[in-house]
Structure 1
Amino acid sequence: TRMGVEQVYYDHFYRAREYDQAWKDYHRSLRNSSRKARRNNTLPAAPRRDLELETLAQILNKERFVSCHSYRQDEINMLMHVADSMGFTINTFTHILEGYKVADKMAQHGAGGSSFSDWWAYKFEVKDAIPYNGAVLHGQGIVTAFNSDDAEMARRLNQEAAKAVKYGGVSEEEALKFVTLNPAKLLRIDHRVGSIAVGKDADIVLWDDHPLSIYARAEQTYVDGTKYYDIDGDMAKREWMRRERARLVQAMKLASKGRGTPPSERMQFHYHCDTLSDENR
């Protein structure tokens, strides 16, 4: 049950608090141990290390930040209540398609939101999603970002950001922050990326049109100041590939008629976890 899920959170955080206190008591006992105890090796025993409780204790001590996958308002409310009662803040609610229902509470809690732009109805939990979600969150002063867990859509997040202008009237500059500076803030790396400033990583895209336009094409892409993509260079490579393909096709046709050797290439395999070959069947 959803109430059971909430209790599971509480149970683990209570255990983590006790675990953290046990370590604090242990270190305090070590500091107060006498020289005789040190000489005789009668120091108190250390608690057994538990990596799970150690991680949860870091959350309680505000040393680790929580990004929570969420959809429904009851789930969002529940986890914020758990966090408030345990003394920490949820850093980011991800997807959060019913965030518009509890945006005021999220703002009071201090959570950020990384939402889909206008996805809805692909499963029961998102039947109440609306395209104004990002604008409503932003209007409440929440650090808002747009995300996608689709590889194709993630390549066009600039167009996703434009939907915040259409649905909700977010300014163009603030909408662009939904996919640049705001995600960096939620990930706590805005001191390095997310905007163009002296001292930051030079991760930059140059467009030939307004970045929020569906007609905009990336002309150049830089990562750490190194140019990884250039549209003119890409066109030259495409032309080379076209000519090379034509050459190989012609060579294969001649080889099929007994005139020349068929083209060959040594293949370099790139193995994935799901690769099936004679080596791992």
Structure 2
Amino acid sequence: MTSIRDMLNPSDIAIARALAGGVTSALLLHGSANPIGGKSATVKFKYGRPVEDFLIPDAPPGIKLALGENVKRSSQVQPPQGGTFRYPRTRMGTMEVIRDAFRRALDYKKSWDDYRAKKTTVPPRIDEELQPLVEILEGKRIVHCHGYRSDEHLNIMLLAEEFGFRIGTLQHGLEAFKIAPEVAKHGAGVSIFVDSWSYKLEAYDNTPYNAYILWKNGVNVSINSDSNERMRRLNLDAAKTMKYGGVPEEEALKMITLNPAKQLGIDKRTGSIEQGKDADIVIWNFHPFSPYSRVELTMIEGEVFFDREQEGPNRERLAKEREELEKLDVNRPPGSGGTPPARPSERREGHLDNHDHDGDNK
């Protein structure tokens, strides 16, 4: 029932850095502490604009599901002081929680169907928790499911088929190559880490050939940064799929352009340079798969949001403005002594963790 929309920060410096790395759009998901995390947001990085300008108005709504160690809190070896472990504590329990939620959603949907068919006269109470699940059942909301192990991703696809819907994307999917034919048959996409694994037990069994094997089996593959730092280097991650398996150059490029746009249901407006689309265009000074290349210009909907030529003058202007502000009386120490106020350093986001990938950004 919670929504990423409610905590978007349009002035996060990571957005400006993403634009400098050629990233124009993103899927922003909840963390993976809960079997059903909440409603996602599909945005364009219009840095400096209000939050309302970030949201892509006709993007299909999404939701985050999660499986595995993060949900069952494998790293929590002791319960909180004076408390108990929360449920679920097992992979089986996680599937039970998700299945129970969809069973309740079916009952909720039936109550509204009966009311609309005039079988009942009192409208059901609106349930903010179950309404998004009904939208999934009706094919109106895309499911993005965090997970690592192939058995769990296979189980979530079987559960989806049990309730009559499809998983939109399997997020991370480090072992998806083991079930590539099943993923293709189900119709799910996979958003992978190219060469990031072994940072926890369930992330151990991966291969750099994952993208190639999935692509060879007809799966829509995109590349997931899961990081406000690594998202600036998606071009190099795409290049690695050519080295490991020999994914053709155009297909490798699609893994960071058209393929994720298809997974998010926004390929009619972005993901490729075609007449009638939004003109989300990045200009590089060399081939984008080269480690020596850099972004010169990033446009969103035809408007420039990053221009390398303007970066130097802008930095000089901002440095001068800061110097003038620091000289103001309000920033001087009190007459009775004391020290000047400390200069703020870059705030570390609380959800960042070098040992885990928890909050997903694609």
* TM-score, shorter chain, exceeding 0.5: yes
Q: Which has the larger radius of gyration?
A: 1
What is the match of residue 40 of structure 1? none
SS at match of 2:92: helix
| Alpha-carbon shift at residue 227 of structure 1 (Å) | 1.9
Change (3 A) 1:242 1:74: closer
Are the structure 2 counterparts of residues 78 and 264 from structure 1 closer, same or farther at C-alpha, using a change threshold of 3 Å? same
Give the gaps of 5 or more residues in structure 2: 1-89, 332-343, 351-362
Alpha carbons of 1:44 and 1:234: their partners in 2 closer, same or farther (altered >3 Å)? closer
SS of match in other structure, 1:102: helix
Match of 1:100 in 2: 177
CA distance in 1, matches of 2:266, 2:124: 34
Aligned residues: CA RMSD:
2.8
Structure 1 counterpart of 2:174, one-letter code: L
Match of 1:3 among 65, 77, 92: 92
Q: 1:242 to 1:98 in 2, by over 3 A?
A: same
Displacement of 1:95 = 0.6
Query: Quick check: which one's helix share is greater?
Result: 1
Choose the corresponding residue for 1:138, options 175, 192, 215: 215
Deviation of residue 237 (structure 1)?
A: 4.6
Structure 1 stretches lacking a partner, 5+ long:
31-42, 249-260, 276-281
1:203-248 deviations in Å (ceiling 9; x for gaps): 111111111111111121212212233333334556x469969xx7
Change (3 A) 1:50 1:231: closer
Amino acid at match of 2:327: S
Question: Is 1:69 matched with 2:158?
Answer: no
Q: Percent identity?
A: 45
Measure the CA separation in 2 of the matches of 1:6 and 1:13. 11
Q: Paired residue for 1:127, among 189, 194, 204? A: 204
Q: Distance in 1 between matches of 2:281 and 2:167?
A: 30
- Sort the Cα spacing of 1:237 and 1:48 in 2 relative to 1 into closer, same or farther, 3 A: closer
State the Cα deviation string for residues 90-126 of structure 1 (Å, max 9, x = none). Answer: 0001111111111110000000000001111011111
**Higher RCO, 1 or 2 (CA under 8 Å, sep at least 6)?**
2
Which residue is equivalent to 2:124?
47
**1:65 Cα deviation from its structure 2 partner:** 1.1
SS, match of residue 151 in structure 1? coil
Q: Which residue of 2 aligns with 1:34?
A: none
Q: Which amino acid aligns with 1:142?
A: V
Where do residues 245-260 of structure 1 align in structure 2 (5 Å cutoff)? none
Distance change >3 Å, CA 55–CA 242, structure 1 → 2: closer
Which secondary structure state, in structure 1, belongs to the residue aligned with residue 297 of structure 2? strand
The more displaced of 50-59 and 186-195 is: 50-59
Deviation by residue 1:12-65 (Cα, 9 ceiling, x = unmatched)? 1111111111111111126xxxxxxxxxxxx72222221212211111111111
Q: What corresponds to 1:199 in structure 2?
A: 276
- Structure 1 residue 262: deviation in Å? 12
Structure 1 position 233 matched with structure 2 position 310? yes
Whole-Å Cα distance in 2 between the matches of residues 136 and 58 of structure 1? 32
Using structure 2 for the length normalisation, give the TM-score: 0.63
Residues 202-281 of structure 1 mapped to structure 2, 5 A cutoff: 202-237=279-314, 240=316, 264=327
TM-score in terms of structure 1 length: 0.80
Q: How many equivalent residue pairs?
A: 246
How do residues 75-94 of structure 1 correspond to structure 2 at under 5 angstroms? Answer: 75-94=152-171
